[in-house]
Amino acid sequence: MKGSNARNDRKAEGRNQAGAHASDNLALMLRGVCKSYPKFELKDVTFSLPRGFIMGFIGPNGAGKTTTIKIIMNMARKSRGTVEALGLDHRLYEKEVKRRIGYVGEEPRFYEEMTPLWFEGFVSKYYPTWDKAYFDATLDRFGIDPAKRVKDLSKGMKVKLGLALALSHKPELLILDEPTSGLDPVIRRDVLDELMSVIQDEKRSVFFSTHITQDIERIADYVTFIHEGRIVESDVKDDILGRWKSISFPLPVRTGEAQGSLGVRDLEADVAKATAYVERLLDQELKGVFIGHKIEGLTFSGITSAFSSTLESKVTQLVGSRPRVAPVSLDDILVFIVRGNNAC
């Protein structure tokens, strides 16, 4: 694997390239892409992937992942917007783009009576860069018998075969739609390891969609979230995880003040005051900071996508105690994106 420091430096460089839309340095760039169906709409989809990295495309079922990939591959026509793959317009240079891309759909389809060896002969004719030795070695590494009919292969082996066929012409960009969905953990690990090996050549890139966030946490450099046809987040994975945090703190309830002849506080009333005070903070000084929150008993807890040391200090000042800050997973983030405040 690449050294972590060098890889982080390249992420910073890639972020600058993506921000400047330097398309020659981008493996993939979508800008303002839209597509309308009777019951679904892809709305202003914009993101970019620098060369040499892996991007995970996350969203619940029906969010628009497959539609976006089909548009990239020109299997579905966009209504408007720009798509460039490897610096080229995906329609004007469709033939060249597809020669330089490896693609595996959500359900790889094969002639069931044919063998991997037959498919190698069939597919290789379309790619001048086909590497037969690499294909044979990949089948061997995956444990696939080249003479076995496809109908006798398991689902996992069919996915591996599709991956071997997609990789053997040495594509500069590999695009996969839900490659690990429904696979057992061992096969999933093999597929992910293969994707990691692809980017050892720093000019090759991987874009894959999934709803299995653990896979993305394991191998992705960049993450793009899509929900209801819109891009919600798209950035370096570590930066996203650095911004999204769970924050909790005790309500600022005053204690030890005797009231009335009984010398006891009206705790219930004081909790209500503290709750009202925190709710005012959420409407004023902390407006828009928390994507979702809840108050249970004497504790506030919420999730933010804008964490910083400045925010932590501000919360400390406003509530009179240092909040507890905890990391969240990509799975947590996806749930909050989909369910919002109801996820708390």
Q: What is the mean pLDDT of the chain?
A: 88
Confidence of residue 212 (pLDDT cuts 50, 70, 90): confident
Spatial separation of the C-alpha atoms in residues 174 and 208, rounded to whole Å: 8
Confidence of residue 19 (pLDDT cuts 50, 70, 90): very low
| Domain ranges, ordered by start, for the chain | 4-236, 245-327
The model's pTM is 0.85
Spatial separation of the C-alpha atoms in residues 50 and 26, rounded to whole Å: 4
CATH superfamily label, 4-236:
P-loop containing nucleotide triphosphate hydrolases (3.40.50.300)
**Span 64-78, mean pLDDT?**
95
More confident residue, 73 or 253: 73
Is the per-residue pLDDT at 299 higher than 80? yes
**Span 272-282, mean pLDDT?**
94
* pLDDT score of 8: 55
Is the per-residue pLDDT at 283 higher than 90? yes
Is the per-residue pLDDT at 36 higher than 70? yes
* pLDDT score of 84: 97
- Give per-residue pLDDT as tens, 108-163: 788 999 999 999 999 999 999 999 999 999 999 999 999 999 999 998 889 899 99
Q: Which of 4-13, 156-165, 300-309 has the lowest mean pLDDT?
A: 4-13
**Span 90-110, mean pLDDT?**
90
**Span 292-319, mean pLDDT?**
94
* pLDDT score of 341: 62
